[in-house]
Structure formats: structure tokens, C-alpha cells
Amino acid sequence: MSAQLETSQQLSDLLKQHRKATDEQGVVDVDTRKRRLQTAIDLLVDHHEELCAAIDKDFGGRHTGFSLMNDILGSLGSLKHARDNLEQWVGSESRQVFSPYDQMGAQAWVQYKPKGTVGIMGTWNAPLFTLFSPLASVLSAGNRAVLKPSEVVPHTAQVLAKIVAECFDPLDVAVITGGVEVSQAFAGMPFDHLVFTGSTEVGKKIMRAAADNLVPVTLELGGKSPVIISETADVREAARRLAIAKGMNGGQLCISPDRIYVPVAAQDEFVSAFCETYSALYPTVEDNPDFTAVVNVQHLARVAGYVAQAQEEGAEVVRCPDVPVPAVGRKHPLSIVINPPLLSDIMQQEIFGPALVLLTYSDVKHVVQEINQGERPLALYYFGEDEAEQNYVLNHTLSGGVTLNDALMHAAMEEAPFGGVGASGMGHYHGRDGFLEFSHARTVFKSAPVDPRGEWGMLPPFSEHFTPGLITQVTR
């Protein structure tokens, strides 16, 4: 069978081979896991130029520097962390035996066993990171994997499939390419675990398809990640950091700041400082190689439609840099939409592009209430120096992760879980938490040499000592 998969039948055949190989192999030792992780590391290092060029082609303009930083180095960080810490994660853990068997020689421990084969469905906005970062956790747990790159980035998918086929034994890691129909079939395959990164609506469909085979899922979705600027914050510094974050990948990140709450009195200062930084980073748009294009015309039309509707309904729109919208191409200046109507599309839908909502407030408790009225976001950001207020926000909200006085940073923590909650996803990867996510925790109990139950009258025929009053005596 070809190592490059293109049909669901080929994938089905491969999964059967994976299952057979898994059952025959037994224990997946540390050296095997490290070898697989190192193969992934070498693949990215040796082929980074080819992969970055493919991403640039798919986007119609994404600087190699960003692809290197986000997709190549981000993935390498996850893979190297798993490789270098693997020996601390594997092995069994002793557990306390219940009384009185703990005094009689009984033992118990938990094994962390590979689940088998994990399917990983990546997304287009970080086409390598959303495959290789979870792959680090999958391989560290001793599993095999099949990767499904997004059909929205076909050049990247084809290049990756070719490289993986050259570098990996398909019984360790394989790639399947194809369109929506292949993705739909992929989600319905009998994997031992399934990872999906993408929108909440598609995530629901993935979960339904996986349920037919009772496949556990890790869903990394999105949401309208909110930012709270406290009255105690350095407004200009907060604006600077948020402008940097929002410019990353043209706003096409799952944890990109989506709506920013600013005190009423700080609105003008924030907008001025934000535009100053953003325009310094991207003084031009149309022919600027540093500016990431919107991935396709459909996404561009969607974002532009959100902005136009809000403006028609009375919202103020500030563009930065303050340049005309290009007539051609998919690079558009950022639109800051100020206080749009609550029911407008830009307030209800995840933006995922070069636009941002700015909302003014007078009471931070009302901001928290408004955030809690929506779906749980993947990320939440707070800027301020009031520890009591910071703790109020942390204690009264729920999100996938939090960064304080900056944005995006929590996702770079390799020794801390990355994942969503509620509509923003379930499960997580990174570090030991990812190792546990893709391991089966199996309890093993080793009995004591003797069985005292008969002597204690705990076997039929039960004696008169077993009466309802016994429970009261024991528990009190």
C-alpha cells in the first residue's frame, strides 16, 4: 500500500494494520517513542523552507518569518519538550490499597498505556502547529497517528504528505489528504482517539461522527476571546501589546483578541495608542510582505460583511493603518468597530480576521456578566494592577486559558495544558497533561496471598451480624 493516503478505504486498511501492529508490539518503550518524536523534529528542521513556501502560497501572502515562528518553532517546542521530559512521564504509579488489604500484602498501581492510533485533524490558520503540537503528546504517550491537514491549504497538505511519507514508517505516522468528503469520512473512522482543531460548529459535527464508534475526542475550538482593560492598567502599554497580538497572522488565530472592554474615559487614548503601534508594525498593507492575507475570498467577504453591517447600524469604524482598502488581493487594514449593536453579526460571531470590537464600560462587574452571558471563550485577557479586581475576574469567569497583562502567551506554555471549555472545546495537550490525555490510565490490583473473607463471615451464607444496624455502627 502507498504511504500517501488519498481515500477513506486506504485509511481504513491502514487502521487495521495499525491495530495489528499495536497488539503485536505490546509495550512501547521510551526509545521507540523518542525515535518517533525525533523523526518529527528532523522532518520540520530539514524541510522548513519547503513547508513555509507552501503555506505562503496557500495564504496568498504570509511571511516566512511568521510561519517559522508560529508553525515550525512552535511545533518544535512541543516535540522537544516531550522528547526531553518523556522519561519523567512514563512508568507506573503506585496507589494506596484499601484497608485492611493494605496490611496484608496487596498492591495496586496505575499503568499509562497507549490508546492505539490517534487521528489528528489540523486547521488552516496554523496548518503545521495544529498537527505537530498535539502529535508531540500523542507520540509521547506511545501512540501511532494519522494526520489530516486542512483542505483550505491544499499546497501545504500535499507537501506535508510527501515529506511524512518519505520520513516516517506509515505504521508510525501517516498523512491523508483530500477535501471535505475525506474529512467527513476521517471523523467517522474507528480511531482510538480523535483530535480536531477548528470552528465550534464543525466541532459539533466531528463529535457526532466520532460518537458512532465511541471514539473519545479532543476538540480545540475558538470563541470570542475577550480582553478587559482595567482602570488601573497602563492603557498605552496594553494597547501596544494587543496591537502586536492582533496583527499576528492577520487576526487569524483561535486565541486572537476578539473584543476589548475599555473604560469609557480611556477610549480615545486606547484607540490612538493601538493604531500608533499597529500602523508602525504595518505602515502599508497591499504590497507589504509582513502583512498576512486573509486565507481566501470567502473568509474576507465574511469579515468585511461583519464590519459593513455594524457600520450601517451606527457603529464607528477606525481603520489602521489609515489607508484605502485595496481593490484587489486579500490584504485589508484592520477595522476597529466601536460599540456595535449587541445583536450585530460582529458581536455574535467569531471574527477570525482583520477586525476588532471595542466596547466601553463603567463597571467591571457588568463586563464579567456580559462575558458570562456568552459561550465560554478559548482565551481571556486582563490588563491591570488591581489584584483584587484581577482575582474577581479570574474567579467569576471560565475560559480555556488566561494571560494577564499580555495576550496569546499562555498557549506557549509547554508544561501547562492548552485547551478549551464548553463551546471552545474539550481536552488538552502540551506537556505531561497531553501525555495523560492520550494515555489510558489502567488500574492494576495485585491481591494479598491469603483471602480472609470466609473467616470474616463475608461470604454466603451470611451470618446474623449482617443487619441494617451494622452500617450505622460502622459509619459512626
The closest of 415, 441, 418 to 86, measured between CA atoms, is 415
Residue 174 sits in the same domain as residue 294 = no
The closest of 100, 92, 59 to 455, measured between CA atoms, is 100
Predicted TM-score of the model (pTM): 0.95
Residue 240 sits in the same domain as residue 303 = yes
Residue 76 sits in the same domain as residue 216 = yes
Averaged pLDDT, 205-220 = 98
Residue 298 sits in the same domain as residue 343 = yes
Averaged pLDDT, 161-168 = 97
Q: What is the pLDDT of residue 59?
A: 96
Residue 300 sits in the same domain as residue 432 = no
Question: Structural domain of residue 103, as residue ranges?
Answer: 4-221+425-440
Residue 16 sits in the same domain as residue 103 = yes
Q: What is the pLDDT of residue 344?
A: 97
**Whether the Cβ atoms of residue 92 and residue 120 lie closer than 8 Å to each other:** no
Averaged pLDDT, 125-151 = 98
Residues with a known catalytic role: 220, 254
CATH code for the domain of 18? 3.40.605.10
468 assigned to some structural domain = no
458 assigned to some structural domain = no
**Total number of domains in the chain:** 2
Residue 60 has pLDDT above 60, yes or no: yes
Residue 470's pLDDT band (cuts 50, 70, 90): low
Residue 439 has pLDDT above 80, yes or no: yes
Q: How do residues 12-22 score in pLDDT, each as one tens digit?
A: 999 999 999 99
Q: How do residues 382-435 score in pLDDT, each as one tens digit?
A: 999 999 999 999 999 999 999 999 999 999 999 999 999 999 999 999 999 999
Q: What is the pLDDT of residue 39?
A: 98
Averaged pLDDT, 463-468 = 72
Q: What backbone phi and psi angles, to 5 degrees, belong to 25?
A: -70, -40
Residue 472 has pLDDT above 80, yes or no: no
Given phi > 0 = left and psi -120 to 50 = alpha, else beta, which region is 226? beta
472 assigned to some structural domain = no
Q: How do residues 352-382 score in pLDDT, each as one tens digit?
A: 999 999 999 999 999 999 999 999 999 999 9
Residue 297 sits in the same domain as residue 395 = yes
Other residues' Cβ atoms within 10 Å of the Cβ of residue 304: 17
Residue 32 sits in the same domain as residue 171 = yes
Residue 5's pLDDT band (cuts 50, 70, 90): confident
Q: What is the pLDDT of residue 1?
A: 39
Residue 184 sits in the same domain as residue 230 = no
Residue 58 sits in the same domain as residue 33 = yes
Q: How far, in whole angstroms, is CA 116 from its chain's centroid?
A: 21
58 assigned to some structural domain = yes
Averaged pLDDT, 459-470 = 76
177 assigned to some structural domain = yes
Residue 474 has pLDDT above 90, yes or no: no
Residue 357 sits in the same domain as residue 245 = yes
